[in-house]
Amino acid sequence: MLSKKLHKGLNDQINAELFSAYLYLSMSSWFKAQNLEGFASWLQIQAQEEVEHAMKFYGYLHDKGADVELKQIEAPQKSWKSPLAAFEDAYKHEVYVSSLINDLADLAVADKDHATNVFLHWFVEEQVEEEASALAVVEKLKLVATHPGGVYMLDREMASRGAEGE
C-alpha cells in the first residue's frame, strides 16, 4: 500500500510529466515557426518521451492498485526571445523536475517503501541525462552565438536525433 502522501506525489508527477510534454511541444512549435526544423524535431521527440514518463507513473499507480486522478494541465509559455532563451528554460525545467523526483524518492525512503524507491531509481538516473542533454544544447548555442549561421548549423545537428536511435 502506498502512503497517502506518496500516492498524491506520484499522481501529481503524471501531471508534471505531461506538462513537460506540453512545454516541449510548445517550444517545438515555436522553433518550427522560425524554420528551425531540427530543433523542432528534437523537441517533438523530447515531448513524446515526457508522455512515456507520465505513462510509467500511470502504470505504476495501477500496478499498486492506487487510484489515478488526472488533473488539469497548465498552459505552457508560447514564445521565446531566442533559441538560447528557450533551451535555458528547458534546462531550468529539467532541474526543477529533478527536484520533484528527489522529493518523491525522499518520501519513498521515509516510508520504507522499497518498491517505489526502486521504481523511482530509473527516474533519478534519467534526470541526470535530461539535465545534461538540455545543458549541452545551451552550451552549444552559446558557442555559436557570435557566428552568423551558427544556429542553422546546429539545427542540422539537432535533426539527427531519432535518426541514430536517440
Interface residue list for Fe ion (CB under 5 A): 17, 50, 53, 130
Minimum CB distance to Fe ion smaller for 7 or for 53: 53
Counts of helices then strands in the chain (DSSP H, E): 5, 0
Q: Whole-number minimum distance, CB 146 to Fe ion, in Å? A: 30
Minimum CB distance to Fe ion smaller for 113 or for 130: 130
The closest residue (CB) to Fe ion is 53
Minimum CB distance to Fe ion smaller for 69 or for 129: 129
Residues in the chain: 166
**Separation between Cα atoms, residue 163 and residue 166, nearest integer Å:** 7
Q: Whole-number minimum distance, CB 108 to Fe ion, in Å? A: 17
Q: Whole-number minimum distance, CB 134 to Fe ion, in Å? A: 8
Residue 92: count of CB within 10 angstroms of its CB? 13
**Separation between Cα atoms, residue 11 and residue 77, nearest integer Å:** 23
